[in-house]
Amino acid sequence: MSGVATVVGSGSWGTAMCGLLAAHVGEVRLWCRDPELAVAVNRDRANPRHLSGYRLPDPVVATGDDARALEGTDVVVLALPSAHLAPVCRRIAPHVPADAPVLVLTKGVEPGTGALMLDVAARELGGEGRLAVLSGPNHAEEICQGKLSAAVLAAREPGVAERLRELVVSPSFRVYVSQDVTGVEICGAVKNVVAIACGVLAGRGAGDNALAVIMTRGLAEIARIAAALGADPLTPMGLAGMGDLVATCTSRHSRNRAFGEAFAHGETLEAYEARTRMVVEGARAARSVAELARRHGVEAPLTLAVDRVLHEGLPVERAIDALLGRRPGEEFYGIVPTQGKENA
* Tens digits of residue pLDDT in 98-154: 999 999 999 999 999 999 999 999 999 999 999 999 999 999 999 999 999 999 999
* Tens digits of residue pLDDT in 236-282: 999 999 999 999 999 999 999 999 999 999 999 999 999 999 999 99
CATH of 182-324, one of 3.30.1180.10, 1.10.1040.10, 3.40.250.10, 2.60.40.1730: 1.10.1040.10
Alpha carbon distance 190, 59 (integer Å): 35
CATH of 4-179, one of 3.40.50.720, 3.90.1150.10, 3.40.190.10, 3.40.250.10: 3.40.50.720
From the list 107, 147, 191, 341, the catalytic residue is: 191
Residue 5's φ and ψ, nearest 5 degrees, are -125, 140
Checking if the pLDDT of 337 tops 60, the result is no
Would you kindly state where each structural domain of the chain is located, as residue ranges? 4-179, 182-324
* Tens digits of residue pLDDT in 176-215: 999 999 999 999 999 999 999 999 999 999 999 999 999 9
Residue 191 bears catalytic tag: yes
